[in-house]
């Protein structure tokens, strides 16, 4: 009992450290590559997934674990661990989105895409669309994201979140149709994460999740802790807090409305829950986030 209590205190403390940062949606980087005279080289930085839309030309991706050649018309996904060096040939047109891992978690679509993609996206892959409009659509989405990131208009974070979700759905569609795609493994943790996304606002018990997966509570706890470093309950609370923060930062909903949307029947309980993990109540958190956003906007406006 004492060990479990100490673990919970450590998990809450760790969550407080990670939940205090501002939205990472605006830290997405979009690189528009179009060099007609010389090759362009890019290095993947730690903590950034890559989504590459290669409209024309050729690209070589190299690392100690990856050797991938891309041609015009292909879309590629490179997870952060790949640490690749990319060389885009002269006359190549490509858009590269460098995406923080936190954004991947926050913008994953619901339903089947949200269940499959977290598993697919652990690995690098490329796909060629049979639909010629797919590349135009991907380039259009990515350029819109670039505009939202660098101009920071009202509602930019919501726009970025929605566009990311749409892009992931399109990627999933083509993976789903590809008979050569990597088969989906259904581990205990994969199924728990998928169920948590689907039932997040229902506040199900750990026992209910274990029953749906077909394992004991102890087995579920051991597997989730091994994969995430958190107990199942702490993982559920982390994801609930992540969604609460996003709603407070980007939506116009009142705190009570956010509480009901997240499955809390009593807004006062939501206030206590949020304060426990963030060390600040939801209203003050929202005001602080808005002040930080205004300060960032003013600092950009003062640039020459």
Q: Which pLDDT does position 195 carry in this prediction? A: 86
Q: What is the mean pLDDT of residues 130-136?
A: 77
| Confidence class for position 27, pLDDT limits 50, 70, 90 | confident
Helix, strand, coil fractions of the chain, as percent rounded to 5: 60, 15, 25
Q: 32: which residues sit within 8 A by CB, 6+ positions away?
A: 95, 143, 146
Which range in 21-25, 160-164, 225-229 is most confidently predicted, on average pLDDT?
A: 160-164
Same domain, 132 and 238: no
Q: What is the mean pLDDT of residues 267-283?
A: 96
CATH number of the domain that residue 82 is part of:
2.60.120.280
pLDDT of residue 46: 80
**Of residues 26 and 202, which shows the higher confidence score?**
202
Whether the predicted pLDDT of 257 surpasses 60: yes
Domain-terminating residue out of 144, 177, 210: 177
* pLDDT bucket at 64, cuts 50 / 70 / 90: confident
* 35 and 146 together in one domain: yes
CB atoms within 10 A of CB 96: 25
Q: Token pair 């619901």 is at which residue?
A: 110
Both 35 and 166 in one domain: the answer is: yes
pLDDT at 82 (0 to 100)? 78
For residue 298, CA distances in Å to 289, 291, 293, 302 come to 14, 10, 9, 6
CB 161, CB 250: distance < 8 Å:
yes
**Higher pLDDT pick, 19 / 243:** 243
3-class SS of residue 45: coil
Asked if residue 248 and residue 146 are part of one domain, the reply reads no
Tokens of 10: 């450590």
- Name the residue range of residue 96's domain: 29-177
Residues in the chain: 304
Rg (CA), the chain: 21
Where is 101: in which H helix or E strand?
Answer: helix 101-106
Question: Looking at the predicted structure, is the pLDDT value of residue 54 above 50?
Answer: yes
pLDDT-derived band at 18 (thresholds 50, 70, 90) equals very low
Say what angle helices 188-199 and 232-250 make with each other, to 10 degrees. 40
pLDDT beyond 50 at 290 = yes
Q: Is the pLDDT of residue 165 over 90?
A: yes
Report the number of distinct structural domains present in the chain. Answer: 2
Mean pLDDT (the chain) is 84
Examine the pLDDT at 159 and tell me if it is beyond 50: yes
* pLDDT at res. 142: 95
Residue 162: is its pLDDT beyond 90? Answer: yes
Other CB atoms within a 10 A radius of the CB of residue 292 amount to: 13
Let me know whether 157 and 212 are in one domain: no
Is 15 inside a domain boundary? Answer: no
Do 156 and 255 lie in one domain? The reply is: no
Do 169 and 228 lie in one domain? The reply is no
Output the DSSP codes for 109-174: -SHHHHHHHHHHTTS-EEEE-SSHHHHHHHHHHHHHHHHHHHH--TTHHHHHHHHHHHHHHHHHHH
Asked if 30 contacts 96 with a C-beta cutoff of 8 angstroms, the reply is yes
Q: How far is CA 256 from the centre of its chain?
A: 26
Assign 251 a pLDDT band (cuts: 50, 70, 90).
confident
Question: Mean per-residue pLDDT for 199-220?
Answer: 92
Instruction: For residue 133, count CB atoms less than 10 angstroms from its CB and return exposed for 0-12, middle for 13-18, buried for 19 or more.
Output: exposed
The pLDDT, as a whole number, for residue 300 is 45
Residues 198 and 294 in one domain: yes
């Amino acid at each position: 009992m004492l060990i479990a209590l100490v673990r919970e205190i450590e998990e809450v403390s760790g969550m407080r450290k990670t939940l205090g940062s501002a939205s990472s949606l605006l830290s997405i980087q979009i690189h528009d590559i179009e060099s007609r005279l010389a090759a362009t080289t890019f290095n993947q930085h730690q903590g950034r997934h890559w989504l590459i839309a290669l409209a024309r030309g050729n690209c070589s991706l190299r690392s100690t674990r990856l050797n991938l050649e891309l041609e015009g018309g292909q879309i590629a996904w490179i997870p952060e661990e790949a640490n690749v060096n990319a060389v885009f040939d002269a006359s190549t047109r490509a858009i590269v989105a460098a995406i923080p891992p936190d954004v991947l978690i926050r913008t994953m679509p619901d339903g089947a895409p949200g269940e499959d993609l977290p598993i697919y996206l652990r690995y690098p892959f490329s796909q060629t669309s049979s639909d010629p409009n797919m590349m135009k659509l991907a380039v259009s989405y990515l350029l819109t994201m670039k505009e939202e990131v660098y101009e920071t208009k009202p509602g930019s974070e919501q726009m970025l979140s929605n566009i990311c979700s749409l892009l992931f759905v399109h990627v999933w569609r083509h993976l789903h149709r590809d008979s050569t795609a990597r088969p989906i493994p259904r581990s205990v943790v994969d199924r728990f994460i998928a169920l948590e996304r689907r039932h997040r606002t229902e506040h199900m018990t750990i026992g209910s999740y274990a029953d749906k997966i077909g394992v004991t509570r102890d087995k579920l706890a051991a597997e989730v802790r091994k994969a995430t470093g958190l107990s199942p309950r702490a993982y559920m609370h982390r994801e609930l807090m992540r969604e609460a923060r996003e709603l407070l930062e980007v939506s116009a909903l009142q705190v009570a409305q956010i509480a009901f949307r997240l499955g809390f029947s009593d807004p006062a309980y939501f206030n206590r829950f949020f304060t426990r993990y963030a060390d600040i109540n939801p209203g003050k958190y929202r005001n602080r986030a808005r002040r930080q956003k205004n300060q960032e906007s003013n600092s950009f406006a003062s640039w020459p």
